[in-house]
Structure 1
């Protein structure tokens, strides 16, 4: 089954890229030549960079190589998505453009026939008709006296179908580049604060208005680095939360390569807590748990801390099961006082079902990126109970952040990044 899936995926990938190349390069040229070869080189080269970027990151290649391949390779992935979607959309427009009526010059036979039909009764009017001859068989009206001269035709070597193909290809390219450019700008600009109020029945009146800054999926790596982290820290500090919750997928790489990028986290003003995400286990979770502890964050590894007004617990990510460090809800929540409100940090939304079983009042998660690249939200919805926002499962509420950064392409479309300010509300206030 794995082999069949891989072969099917390769077939779809190759077919999709051939289709994009055909529409953008083959159908816009009359014959094989430099343009078609250049287009093939762009497509093949772009995918070589993308695969190289993915392999270099996962294999722990020298960091300079990861950074060299990362920007062009990951951006090519995003560009391919929207080139394909734009070209597919162009198929709906192409027939309409092809069927538009085109004005043509009258043929030589038609002009001759018209001239021969002038009767003697036309008198002076017929004699005053201004006609010039541009060739032995090709009369033409004088533009100075013709009230409706025919438009200059397109160059003879550009057929109607070729013209339409070029218009559609140009529009598709412009839309794809514009979409990826704007989506990348949105990520690099940094996440904005999103405010959400969550009422908790067990929260005492004294804790009404308590604010938790939820930040997830920062994904520090070869593309997003120290400056990006500093912007997140500055944004959180300016919002003045009572507590900061970093709910996984902080990094894509080792402490050796990304320690300097994560260093600004030491500047968080509020008490800060951390739980692992699946990407920590791709990057060496143990070393990152120690690093965030050194930076002043408190890792909650299947653990709980009793704050003055509620319990704050955290469980490891599901990916930790491969290392014997998976989530342990019983260890984190088994002996707590059920009369107290409980907030759980768990990277993946699918962990909500265990949270419900253990009487959690609110679970804070990330992981989905809100889909990151539309229509990726449709795929994310198939794999997660909630893709983004606040939802309820029994007596437990689940909030899923869209995340602060981006994985792979530093681009978001239809799923803007955010840092969520959760304001807890007591129903007794």
Structure 2
């Protein structure tokens, strides 16, 4: 508890410092004191982070879903915009002094060309020693600061305007990528124990759909259409389907009932299901025609085992992953494909002889440079990697958590095609 409070204090202090920096560069440095623009800018820098905080906590606090939807769009989008505004302003700090010197040099050159040299005026000889001493003293003339102030204002407006434009363009493009829907990615995975009859078997993998106050029924329908168009043999939904209760989001998930695959659709829980009522969601997806795999395994007719484990977040409710139950007594001469939301369970998969683990959770980092942070917490952030005799494929996911924005980590539905080395 003490550690959590300390983390919260540090996080709020950091957030406050970041907003002060943004206010200084985008409001104070570019507007007149007491002017309307400064008042409006100051109000936005106060209100927007409050909306972001409301967007982050409203779901957990049981706020009515309609209110969650109202605060989610501006609150979450501001978090994404804030990230790229700050990054752009930091880059602008290096540009600012260079631009200031260039403008000052140009102004000096222009002044030397425009002002003619003064005509010498004869000075009469001093009549006394005091007058002679006074004549030799330097005359200090205070330079009017108007030109320097004008240059600083111009530079601040150029750098600030460019930072806002770059950040807004980045966020707009990233939001379009999410709202447009995921693109199909195809990966071929050879498995040594896969029989010849299963060569070319296609599994459509989708993770991290994140239905919530922003991404709703239209989002799930786009994903269903994308998956069905690939005509897969089997569909694997590997967790983080929702951010909210069945009461609020049950209708948004209904298009999943139209998923079509020769051997059916399967579901395993992600950590966000445990924030949203995992048991209720497991029951709901079962009603929609998906088969939940809760620490269990079945034999696929094509000739391999399919297993699924609960997410590690379920340990707080006594429903975490149980690899012994899911994989302990199987015939290891058969290939095994494991559905597990988080890549971090790969060591357990290796220990139980899994040939291929399919995961999500990381979003590929979602917002660059978040991929570097994701690398610290996950063995694989995106794509296919090998761990001993086990291969791990991590999808970037089809949705987005928080800001409906992706930068440097496009959303995807992956068609994993299994290849037999006997073919």
Task: State the TM-score, normalizing by the size of structure 1.
Answer: 0.88
Distance apart, 1:11 and its partner CA: 1.7
Q: Specify which of 336, 341, 344 is matched with residue 347 of structure 1.
A: 341
Q: Is 1:264 aligned to residue 274 of structure 2?
A: no
**Map of 1:220 onto structure 2:** 211
Q: Equivalents in 1 of 2:43, 2:269: separation in Å? A: 41
Q: Specify which of 215, 226, 229 is matched with residue 235 of structure 1.
A: 226
**Map of 1:202 onto structure 2:** 193
Q: Deviations over 1:320-351 (max 9, x none)?
A: 01111111000000110000000000000001
Distance apart, 1:36 and its partner CA: 2.3
**Map of 1:297 onto structure 2:** 290
**Cα 1:398–1:114, aligned 2, differ >3 Å: closer, same or farther?**
farther
CA RMSD of aligned residues (A): 1.8
- Indicate the SS of the match to 1:6: helix
**Map of 1:139 onto structure 2:** none
- Indicate the SS of the match to 1:175: helix
**Map of 2:124 onto structure 1:** none
Distance apart, 1:95 and its partner CA: 1.4
5+ long unaligned stretches in structure 1: 117-154
**Map of 1:254 onto structure 2:** 245
Distance apart, 1:30 and its partner CA: 4.3
Q: Equivalents in 1 of 2:285, 2:153: separation in Å? A: 59
Q: Deviations over 1:378-399 (max 9, x none)?
A: 1110000100000111100000
Distance apart, 1:4 and its partner CA: 3.0
Q: Is 1:99 aligned to residue 89 of structure 2?
A: no
Distance apart, 1:12 and its partner CA: 1.2
Q: Equivalents in 1 of 2:101, 2:148: separation in Å? A: 19
**Cα 1:95–1:106, aligned 2, differ >3 Å: closer, same or farther?**
closer
Q: Is 1:336 aligned to residue 310 of structure 2?
A: no
**Cα 1:203–1:18, aligned 2, differ >3 Å: closer, same or farther?**
same
Distance apart, 1:157 and its partner CA: 9.2
Q: Deviations over 1:139-184 (max 9, x none)?
A: xxxxxxxxxxxxxxxx969611111111000000001111100000
Distance apart, 1:113 and its partner CA: 3.2
**Map of 1:48 onto structure 2:** 50
Distance apart, 1:45 and its partner CA: 0.7
Q: Is 1:322 aligned to residue 320 of structure 2?
A: no
Q: Is 1:422 aligned to residue 416 of structure 2?
A: yes
Q: Deviations over 1:217-257 (max 9, x none)?
A: 00001100111111111111111010000000000111111
- Indicate the SS of the match to 2:59: helix
Count of aligned positions = 391
Distance apart, 1:198 and its partner CA: 0.4
Q: Is the 8 A contact 1:367 1:403 kept in 2?
A: yes
- Indicate the SS of the match to 1:29: coil
**Cα 1:110–1:245, aligned 2, differ >3 Å: closer, same or farther?**
closer
Q: Equivalents in 1 of 2:112, 2:282: separation in Å? A: 81
Q: Is 1:307 aligned to residue 300 of structure 2?
A: yes
Q: Is the 8 A contact 2:239 2:341 kept in 1?
A: yes
Q: Is the 8 A contact 2:32 2:38 kept in 1?
A: no
- Indicate the SS of the match to 2:267: strand
Q: Equivalents in 1 of 2:353, 2:247: separation in Å? A: 40
Q: Is the 8 A contact 1:60 1:253 kept in 2?
A: no
Residues 30-429 of structure 1 aligned to structure 2 (within 5 Å): 30-100=32-102, 101-103=105-107, 105-106=110-111, 110-111=115-116, 113=118, 159-270=150-261, 271-308=264-301, 309-429=303-423
**Cα 1:107–1:362, aligned 2, differ >3 Å: closer, same or farther?**
closer
Q: Equivalents in 1 of 2:113, 2:192: separation in Å? A: 88
Q: Is the 8 A contact 1:372 1:413 kept in 2?
A: yes
